[in-house]
Homo-oligomer: A and B are copies of this chain.
């Protein structure tokens, strides 16, 4: 890598002259500026990012801590963050917490040594269960702002970008009720996590405010037996005519299972699940989905963080909570 020093030497001028010339300073004579720029271009000079960071005490880098990168929703959010960050001249350093509090703490620690200017993160399950927040607060006190998305720690004072989880399942359930569905089950992969609870509550509210039944919830805790569980559940409760699934896999599996045991979808049973367009193709008929607009969540989080990072010195900005509304996209698995 070429440095200012080398350019200066070759041009027989001082380092500061070169620096100023390249930064279009008014102070520098036209032809000097030209000579400098030409040589810089010839050598493909790029200012050293590390030196710049040290000097300006900011790295133009965002730390992203994600619980699980194999989750399509989270990957999509990451995609949105990356795009927005790149657009605004920021890089992202990605860490995966694997839902572990310990790894979350470590990542925060590790990057809080000047590697990044701030964080975007979704809270690990373990962290939510243990209700730990001190590591977040400490980071913020150290001057590194945090933006949380989706799974947030409500009692940490920071910017947040969330989904209308409660409303989304409330509306989905209402939708099935409007189809005259009588026995609607809520299928969830057990996570004692804010988001999951809210979704269940949305379903509960819709059911209890419209019908006289008790809500019916099927909790599934390991990934691998969803199919079996759903099958035996449907066999046992023959009256089920509607499914609201709290994640995309359950929705897909519900449709395929129902078809497999001879039910007609959506005539006999309607299914709505969370998920994206691409996953909806994994079932026949295609799944009617609740879309979370993951990319939008990512870009909103990045925008908010960068806005805060680029605040003039001394200026302040109230923490905000942005809600990205879900959309219910009708496909073939509902009437």
Contacts and interface: CB of A to CB of B under 8 A. Distances in A.
B113 A46 contact: yes
Task: Identify which of A46, A111, A115 gathers the most chain B CB atoms within 10 Å of its CB.
Answer: A115
A252 interface: yes
A91 B69 contact: no
A142 B2 CA distance: 10
A106 B201 CA distance: 46
B96 A79 contact: yes
A137 interface: no
Interface in A262-301: 278, 281-284, 286
A235 B256 CA distance: 21
Contacts of A111: 91
Contact of A46 (B72, B112, B278): B112
Contact of A284 (B86, B142, B256, B278): B256
Given A50-B114, A227-B281, A94 B96 contact: no
A70 interface: yes
A49 B113 contact: yes
Contact of A94 (B94, B112, B257): B94
Interface residues of A, number: 53
Contact of A281 (B51, B53, B95, B226): B226
B224 A281 contact: yes
A47 B113 contact: yes
22 contacts: A1-B112, A1-B114, A46-B113, A48-B54, A50-B54, A50-B59, A50-B115, A61-B93, A69-B75, A70-B79, A70-B278, A82-B96, A83-B96, A86-B95, A91-B115, A226-B281, A227-B281, A249-B278, A256-B282, A257-B284, A259-B259, A282-B283
Interface of A: 1, 46-51, 53-54, 59, 61, 69-70, 72, 75-76, 78-79, 82-83, 86, 91-96, 109-115, 142-143, 223-224, 226-227, 249, 252-253, 256-257, 259-260, 278, 281-284, 286
